[in-house]
Amino acid sequence: MAPPAGSPELQAELARIAKQIVANGKGILAADESTGTIGKRLSSIGVENNEENRMTYRKILFTTPKGLEESIGGVILFHETLYQKDNEGKRLVDSLTSRGILLGIKVDKGVVPLFGSQNEGTTQGLDGLAERCKQYKADGCDFAKWRCVLRIQDNGRTPSPQGILENANVLARYASICQSEGLVPIVEPEILIDGDHTIEVCQEVTERVLAAVYKALSDHHVYLEGTLLKPNMVTPGLDCPKKATSAEIANATVTALRRTVPPAMPGVTFLSGGQTELQATENLNSMNVLPQELRPWKISFSYGRALQASVLKAWGGKTEPENVNNAQKTLMHRATSNKLAALGKYEGEEASGAASESLFVANHSY
């Protein structure tokens, strides 16, 4: 087996970035909704999906005062946001970089059907990726994200060997290209929560998928110390009649990870995948109160919906300072709660308002 690729200097730089993002309970704000996806989020509060409104919303997120950098180590951006300026001509991302929050960029070009498969897909975007990564690095990014989507059907009949192999390989190829250009790749093989499968089936499928991903990363000489993993938690399918407790989810998830993810990989930054904000925080905490020897990696968050849903509601698309303040306070509260959960110190909160609402989006594969 050949050693991981990259000079000692490149490897040191990649390892430093990956560690920094998840240091001291910090996690990631996934704000990389593509234009179509952010449109759905904005329409939920009656806001038109145009460039000005996308800028206004993301400026509110990024200018959240008083210590966002204590709980958010990195923000994942969509291409437009990286270059977007506010009405005073200031780059939106300056509010992040000035506080030491690292910039990440979504580099995949979305999910497409795998012809001949059983309703499965793969993610495209490898063409020209090295050139795009080079430019993003020059423009201030330190990490990247690529999301693959797998679906459990018929009690684990899918994902099929074809679906698993294809998605593992494309993630590995993406990771290798990112590292060659100095970007830490976040490797995201999301197994959707859709379905009526049990937690046991989800665990078995998650293990098969992660085992294939780490085999492919090894085959492509990816330097694991300079990567982050963004997986789903192991849960029952949303329509499974048998629900699981947070402790059961934590045990099943950490067991699946221990069987498949090498300790050289520094940080697991979970996606929320349609869980409520409170579930996502509670489940994260339950993993981080398990004995330390079961967790060789940092266990943290890279939430999209579970960090933003109640922020959007609090803002409501209004320009009044009160709404903007409420939105920013809400983001601070969720980010701080998740930091506490990443340290195993979250003590729960009132299950009221937007934080306890379902964030499920059927077939979230776009």
Question: Least distance from C-beta 76 to ligand 5MM, angstroms?
Answer: 6
Dist. CA 240–CA 74, nearest whole Å: 34
The closest alpha carbon to 134, from 107, 164, 161, belongs to: 107
- Please choose, out of 27-35, 131-139, 169-177, 343-351, the segment that lies near ligand 5MM by the rule CB under 6 A: 27-35
Query: Residue 49 interacts with ligand 5MM (CB under 6 A)?
Result: no
Amino acid at 288: N
- Please choose, out of 51-59, 97-105, 192-200, 268-276, the segment that lies near ligand 5MM by the rule CB under 6 A: 268-276
Dist. CA 281–CA 334, nearest whole Å: 8
Interacting residue with ligand 5MM among 147, 151, 208, 220 (CB under 6 A) = 147
In eight-state DSSP terms, residue 357 is S
Interacting residue with ligand 5MM among 18, 29, 30, 210 (CB under 6 A) = 30
What is Dmax (Cα atoms) for the chain? Answer: 60
Query: Residue 33 interacts with ligand 5MM (CB under 6 A)?
Result: yes
Query: Residue 272 interacts with ligand 5MM (CB under 6 A)?
Result: yes
The catalytic residue among 106, 145, 230, 339 is 230
Cβ closest to ligand 5MM, residue 5 vs residue 114: 114
Query: Based on the number of CB atoms within 10 Å of its own CB, is 313 exposed (0-12), middle (13-18) or buried (19 or more)?
Result: middle
- Bond preceding residue 159 cis, omega within 30 of 0: yes
Cβ closest to ligand 5MM, residue 11 vs residue 34: 34
Cβ closest to ligand 5MM, residue 33 vs residue 204: 33
Interacting residue with ligand 5MM among 54, 59, 173, 305 (CB under 6 A) = 305
Positive/negative CA dihedral, 300, 306, 308, 314: negative
Q: Say whether 188 is catalytic.
A: yes
Dist. CA 361–CA 363, nearest whole Å: 6
Query: Residue 148 interacts with ligand 5MM (CB under 6 A)?
Result: no
- Show the tokens assigned to 336: 């701080």
Cβ closest to ligand 5MM, residue 4 vs residue 283: 283
Query: Based on the number of CB atoms within 10 Å of its own CB, is 274 exposed (0-12), middle (13-18) or buried (19 or more)?
Result: buried
Interacting residue with ligand 5MM among 250, 254, 271, 341 (CB under 6 A) = 271
Please answer whether residues 161 and 114 qualify as being in contact, where contact means their C-beta atoms are separated by less than 8 angstroms: no
- Please choose, out of 84-92, 266-274, 319-327, 332-340, the segment that lies near ligand 5MM by the rule CB under 6 A: 266-274
- CA angle, 43 then 360 then 196, to 5°: 150
**What's CA 112's distance to the chain center, in Å?**
20
Interacting residue with ligand 5MM among 34, 97, 118, 336 (CB under 6 A) = 34
Question: Least distance from C-beta 155 to ligand 5MM, angstroms?
Answer: 23
- Interface positions, 69-88, toward ligand 5MM (CB under 6 A): none
Please answer whether residues 328 and 65 qualify as being in contact, where contact means their C-beta atoms are separated by less than 8 angstroms: yes
Cβ closest to ligand 5MM, residue 125 vs residue 296: 125
In eight-state DSSP terms, residue 349 is -
The number of residues that bind ligand 5MM (CB under 6 A) is: 14
Q: Say whether 230 is catalytic.
A: yes
Dist. CA 202–CA 22, nearest whole Å: 26
Residues contributing to the site for ligand 5MM (CB under 6 A): 30, 32-34, 37, 147, 271-273, 303-306, 366
Catalytic residues: 188, 230
